[in-house]
Amino acid sequence: SVLVHLSRGGAEVHMYAPDVPQMHVIDHSKGQPAEAESRNVLVESARIARGKIASLAKLTTADHDAVIFPGGFGAAKNLSTFAVDGKDCKVNREVERVLKDFHKAGKPIGLCCISPVLAAKVLSGAEVTVGHEEEEGGKWPYAGTAGAIKELGAKHSHVDTKNKVVTTPAFMCETELHKIFDGIGAMVKNVLKLTGK
């Protein structure tokens, strides 16, 4: 969804991923980790990106107007330890560097789904959202994440114009796919708008 909206917005896209082992390889037909199987985050990301990807260590603010982090459970397992450690998590050092560098440069940062926890942990006082703070009968099954964000000292919001951080809950909500797609589109549109281009 992020790539479709960036394409529609006329953005030139470069993709990056950390060159680290995945915490788990998930068998999505069973919803469980595959036993005795390991994969690399960069290699798996290259599959999704159709090979057009580089190591996150090569990402610099000088060459880019903004950065967007997709979500998914991998952000909580491979970009950080949030899945295991919650508010006491550690963020991958390259992810932390990129977030801090873009923030310091005053360049927009977009995050969706669970990835706003990365900004909440790394950027003091950031305003982010992962959706609602109440479960609401199954619609927001990950509502507890909002509490963790507040414990990290971040404000639960959507567009933080001061810090140029734009977030959307995406699959944190159990809703129709087109609504998730549209929410990601709004995030991308706001990131592109904040670039001033």
User: Which residues are catalytic, by number?
Assistant: 113
With contact defined as beta carbons under 8 Å apart, do 126 and 118 qualify? no
With contact defined as beta carbons under 8 Å apart, do 107 and 65 qualify? yes
Identify whether 168 is part of a domain. yes
Identify whether 21 is part of a domain. no
Identify whether 104 is part of a domain. yes
Q: How much is the mean pLDDT over the chain?
A: 84
CATH for 151: 3.40.50.880
What is the per-residue pLDDT across 146-181, written as a single tens digit (0 to 9) for each? 555 556 554 444 788 999 999 988 776 777 888 888
Identify whether 145 is part of a domain. yes
137: left (phi over 0), alpha (psi -120 to 50) or beta: left
Identify whether 23 is part of a domain. no
Identify whether 45 is part of a domain. no
The whole model's pTM is what? 0.84
Residue 154 structural domain: 1-16+56-195
Identify whether 77 is part of a domain. yes
Identify whether 26 is part of a domain. no
With contact defined as beta carbons under 8 Å apart, do 167 and 130 qualify? yes
Number of domains comprising the chain:
1
